[in-house]
Structure 1
Amino acid sequence: MKSITSSANPLYKELKQLATSAQARRKAGRTLLDGIHLAEAYLQSGARPVLCVASETALTHAEAAAVIRQCQAEAVQCVLLPDGQYQALSQVEHGVGLLFVVETPKAAAPAALTQSAVLLDNLQDPGNLGSILRSAAAAGIRQIYCSEGSASAWSPKVLRAGMGAHFILDIFEGVDLAALMATAQIPVLATSSYATQSIYQADLHGELAWLFGHEGQGVAEDLLQLASQQVVIPHRGQMESLNVAAAAAVCFFEQLRQALD
């Protein structure tokens, strides 16, 4: 296991760039899986990292040590850092000191929308995006389409919020949602506070896609007009609307509830 102790080391400088710069991650086509849970989920998916990075403390943690041994057994390069240098790379507080460098998937979007999916229009917040991915995976929805201007699905913050959902989803970024919706072979539903039909009255059986938009502005008007149907999530109280991640979870699990009836 290679030990790095100098901040001037070229590999350490590269890791620091990946940890702190979205531009560096895009240029390298790589991202960081920060924390033991993501590392284990990645290995369980059958994938292998480019690099395993551990702090000295991680060697004393049984779960982290097991991950390191698995990586070494499968010829994955492993690097050991002093705790202080490791902390400069990690955004996980009170973690065990383990992260992976992985290749960022670059899947081509299907030519047509034919199975249950989530369409995200200019969604900005990494926590919201990660939560939506996690809820979609839990509800059995596999395909995610993100428009230009949405948060990067493979950023470390979104990955942490997704809790491993990325590794069981097909995520497509930079998608022209208008073109996708225009040729969709399944219904596309959008939530709107102005809709007259409740989500609980809508027929959600079969394959369908959900469309969600920017946290403040909502779905762009041109996309909203392309939706097959608009539905509202009824609620009581003084709040004007739900957080987009919460609204998405309600939609996904109402679809699942109807499928299980």
Structure 2
Amino acid sequence: MKIITSRDNAQYKDLKHLATSSQARRKAGRTLLDGVHLCETWLQLRGHPEQCIVSEGAMQNGEVAAIVARLEGEHAHVLCFPDALYAALSQVEHGVGIMFLVETPQRATPAALSVNAVLLDNVQDPGNVGSILRSAAAAGIGEVYCSPGTAFCWSPKVLRAAMGAHFVLDIFENVDLAPLLADAPIATLATSGYARQRLYDVDLKRPVAWVFGHEGQGVSDELLGLARHQVVIPHLGEVESLNVAACAAVCFFEQVRQNLD
């Protein structure tokens, strides 16, 4: 374990820049996983982080101490900061005092859709994006494609909302969604409050690419026109529509239901 006590330390400055700047995270291709759950999930599914960062006070926490002991035993890199310096790095209020520095996967976009997938068209709220990722992973969906206007999937808020779903999904960002839909060899479904076809009347016992849109404007007209099916989720209450994350969860688990029957 390396102990750093100065805020002028170059490593500390680099970490603080990553912690506080989305642009820096995108440019560096790195992000910070904050909290025991995300760190344990990364260890289980991906292995060692580039660095484990802990606060001095967190070493009194049994779960944190166990993670640090494992990493030190396997000769991984661990940095320890005084509590005050660590607090300036963490985006979690009342967190436990551990985070991982990890590389964000950089993947080339496949030429065509072939498995169950989610396409996010300008979904801007990080909480919604994270919730959609979490539901997608729980429903066994393998791929997520994000338009340039969609919230950065590896931001702290999205990571916290997704609760480790990132690590079992193939996520592609800054993707032009129109060509993927236009050439898709699998069924493509876009949700729309104006659609006539009900979700529950569509055959989902096959690979499907789901398209969800902006919180206020929905899926763009271009992508609606390219989707093979436009579907609506019927509801009884006097509300105009579902939240996009709730809508996605209903769609994913209707597909799960059909495939379990």
Verify: 1:149 aligned to 2:116, yes or no: no
SS in structure 2 of the partner of residue 32 of structure 1: strand
Aligned-partner residue type, residue 12 of structure 1 = Y
Mind listing any 5+ residue stretches in structure 2 that lack a counterpart?
Answer: none
Q: Once the 2 structures are TM-superposed, how far is the Cα of residue 171 of structure 1 from its aligned partner?
A: 0.4
Q: Once the 2 structures are TM-superposed, how far is the Cα of residue 28 of structure 1 from its aligned partner?
A: 1.5
Aligned-partner residue type, residue 103 of structure 2 = E
CA distance in 1: counterparts of 2:73 and 2:178, whole angstroms: 47
Q: Once the 2 structures are TM-superposed, how far is the Cα of residue 74 of structure 1 from its aligned partner?
A: 2.4
CA distance in 2: counterparts of 1:19 and 1:43, whole angstroms: 20
SS in structure 1 of the partner of residue 189 of structure 2: strand
Q: Once the 2 structures are TM-superposed, how far is the Cα of residue 75 of structure 1 from its aligned partner?
A: 2.1
CA distance in 2: counterparts of 1:148 and 1:81, whole angstroms: 36
Verify: 1:71 aligned to 2:71, yes or no: yes
| Structure 2 equivalent of residue 106 of structure 1 | 106
Q: Once the 2 structures are TM-superposed, how far is the Cα of residue 200 of structure 1 from its aligned partner?
A: 1.2
Q: CA RMSD in A?
A: 0.9
Deviations 1:169-205 (A, max 9, x none): 0001111100111110101001111111211121111
SS in structure 2 of the partner of residue 175 of structure 1: coil
Aligned-partner residue type, residue 190 of structure 2 = A
SS in structure 1 of the partner of residue 18 of structure 2: helix
| Structure 2 equivalent of residue 135 of structure 1 | 135
| Structure 1 equivalent of residue 248 of structure 2 | 248
Q: Once the 2 structures are TM-superposed, how far is the Cα of residue 84 of structure 1 from its aligned partner?
A: 1.2
SS in structure 2 of the partner of residue 200 of structure 1: helix
Deviations 1:93-118 (A, max 9, x none): 22210000001110111111111100
SS in structure 2 of the partner of residue 174 of structure 1: coil
| Structure 2 equivalent of residue 165 of structure 1 | 165
SS in structure 1 of the partner of residue 200 of structure 2: coil
SS in structure 2 of the partner of residue 91 of structure 1: coil
Matched positions, count: 261
Q: Do the aligned partners of 2:187 and 2:209 also contact (CA within 8 Å) in 1?
A: yes
CA distance in 1: counterparts of 2:76 and 2:126, whole angstroms: 29
Aligned-partner residue type, residue 140 of structure 1 = G
Q: Once the 2 structures are TM-superposed, how far is the Cα of residue 47 of structure 1 from its aligned partner?
A: 2.5
Q: Do the aligned partners of 2:46 and 2:167 also contact (CA within 8 Å) in 1?
A: no
Deviations 1:187-225 (A, max 9, x none): 100111111121112111111110001111111101100
> Which range moves more in the overlay, 132-141 or 5-14?
5-14
CA distance in 1: counterparts of 2:216 and 2:70, whole angstroms: 44
Aligned-partner residue type, residue 242 of structure 2 = L
CA distance in 2: counterparts of 1:126 and 1:260, whole angstroms: 31
TM-score w.r.t. the length of structure 2 is 0.98
> Which range moves more in the overlay, 129-138 or 38-47?
38-47
Deviations 1:27-75 (A, max 9, x none): 2111000111100000000332111000112111111111111221222
Verify: 1:38 aligned to 2:38, yes or no: yes
Q: Do the aligned partners of 2:187 and 2:228 also contact (CA within 8 Å) in 1?
A: yes
Q: Once the 2 structures are TM-superposed, how far is the Cα of residue 122 of structure 1 from its aligned partner?
A: 0.9
SS in structure 1 of the partner of residue 145 of structure 2: strand
| Structure 2 equivalent of residue 185 of structure 1 | 185
Q: Once the 2 structures are TM-superposed, how far is the Cα of residue 156 of structure 1 from its aligned partner?
A: 1.2
Q: Once the 2 structures are TM-superposed, how far is the Cα of residue 160 of structure 1 from its aligned partner?
A: 0.8
CA distance in 2: counterparts of 1:47 and 1:2, whole angstroms: 20
SS in structure 1 of the partner of residue 230 of structure 2: strand
Verify: 1:175 aligned to 2:175, yes or no: yes
| Structure 2 equivalent of residue 90 of structure 1 | 90
